[in-house]
Amino acid sequence: MNTPEISVIMANYNGATYLPAALQSLLRQTFKRWELLFVDDASSDESVALVRQRERADTRIRIFRQPIRRGPAAARNRALEAATGTWVAVFDSDDLMMPDRLERLLQRATTDEATIVADNLMLFSESDPKPRRYLRNHLGRSPHWIGLAEFADSNCLYTSTPDLGYLKPMIRADIVRRLNARYDESLRVGEDYDFLARMMAEGHQIRLDPAAMYLYRKHTNSVSHRLAASDIMALLSADQRFRRRAGLLYEEIKALNRRRRSLESLLIYDGVIAALKDGNPAYGAMTALSQPRIWPLLTRPLAARLKRLAQALATERVARTHS
């Protein structure tokens, strides 16, 4: 077998429901010189058995099993250690790819001499049958270079740019090895942002292709949809470690300060909600009144409920029209 050009790393935990479709979308890639490093994080479903069937028929697939559940960061680190390709591409076990995605990303990276390349996302779910592009501003219309300051700014509250930490990058493997880049295993969420940010602090930029070739599945089990106080504290600790080790530019420091204030606001907001749930509305209200920066967050649940109500009413009107 030829040496793989792209090492596709896939972390999985109980992903059997979506795994067959994800594997099929990889097998259908027009670019064939890839290897799949599938790391199962101690699943209790039939995930490994499903991939084992594919492995028997395709020597490009390699399976690794974690003896205990350690989280997606540890799973991806194990895949990075085993990768033999020139490039490393992140692909989650519940997502899909357009057939020419790997080929086009490699072309973009080669043409633009990029060390990190990513594309737009197409969001989809069973509850929302109409897929939509993730980046619909200027970033979704033409190729762009993204530096650390813009990347960090997208990870703040109230920003006009969607969080770029959700992008699924393809990274030159020699950069990963030279920087000894690894995912922070103390993070349950936000490990993708942290991993990329530390490489970008060394001067590397993301070359963003506006084409939406990665299909990002949204569902109730998605870890990224839930953020607890412990998650926020871990993100704040990771931010502190990041600042100690990186020689940062002035604009980058400003952007990171804005991101830190956002995380602190989320932590305050979480405390207010916890107080309300624990039957201590006076404390929750007092905290909320003393922290104006979290007021927009407090209106979001109401706005979401109103949006769902409007959608339900619209559906009901359509049903009446066709009855």
* Spatial CA neighbour of 32 closest among 52, 58, 10, 62: 58
Residue 219 vs residue 97, higher pLDDT: 97
> What share of the chain has pLDDT > 90, as a percent?
69
Can you give the pLDDT at residue 299? 52
143-164: burial string, b at 16+ Cβ within 10 Å, e else? ebebbbbbbbbbbbbebebbbb
Higher local confidence (pLDDT), 137 or 282? 137
Tell whether the model's pLDDT for residue 246 goes beyond 80. no
- Decide if pLDDT at 286 tops 90: no
81: its two tokens: 């250690």
- Provide the pLDDT for residue 193: 96
Helix (H) / strand (E) containing 245:
helix 229-245
- Confidence at residue 149, expressed as pLDDT on a 0 to 100 scale: 96
Residue closest to 147 by CA, chosen among 244, 253, 71, 66: 253
Residue 150 has pLDDT above 70, yes or no: yes
Distance of CA 151 to the CA centre of its chain: 13
> What confidence score (pLDDT) does residue 302 get?
39
Cβ(188)–Cβ(225) under 8 Å?
A: no
Among 4-8, 10-14, 228-232, the range scoring the smallest mean pLDDT is 228-232
Please report the pLDDT score of residue 154 as a whole number: 95
- Where does the pLDDT of residue 222 fall: very low under 50, low under 70, confident under 90, or very high at 90 and above? low
Confidence of residue 265 (pLDDT cuts 50, 70, 90): confident
| Helix (H) and strand (E) counts in the chain | 11, 10
Q: How far is CA 84 from CA 36, 81, 204, in A?
A: 10, 9, 21
With cut-offs at 50, 70 and 90, classify the pLDDT of residue 296. low
CB 6, CB 172: distance < 8 Å: no
- 270-306: b or e for each residue (b if 16 or more CB lie within 10 Å)? bbbbebeeeeeeeebeebbeebeebeebeeeeeeeee
Strand 34-40 to strand 6-12: parallel, antiparallel, or no bridges (unpaired)? Answer: parallel
Q: How far is CA 165 from CA 208, 210, 229, in A?
A: 12, 15, 20
CB 209 within 8 A of CB 105: yes
If we measure between CA atoms, which residue out of 280, 269, 276, 194 comes closest to residue 228?
269
Q: How far is CA 164 from CA 115, 154, 161, 307, in A?
A: 17, 6, 8, 25
For all residues of the chain together, what is the average pLDDT? Answer: 86
Average pLDDT over residues 196-202: 95
Token pair recorded at residue 100 = 């020419």
- Residues 161 and 138: their CA atoms lie apart, in Å, by 9
| Average pLDDT rounded to a whole number, residues 97-124 | 98
Give the pLDDT confidence score for residue 225 in this predicted structure: 46
Q: And the tokens for 5?
A: 């050009």
Q: What 3-state class would DSSP assign to 23?
A: helix
How far is it, in rounded angstroms, from Cα 87 to Cα 171? Answer: 6
pLDDT of residue 268: 79
Q: What is the pLDDT of residue 128?
A: 75
Domains of the chain as residue ranges with CATH: 6-225 (3.90.550.10), 229-298 (no CATH)
Determine the residue type at 265: S
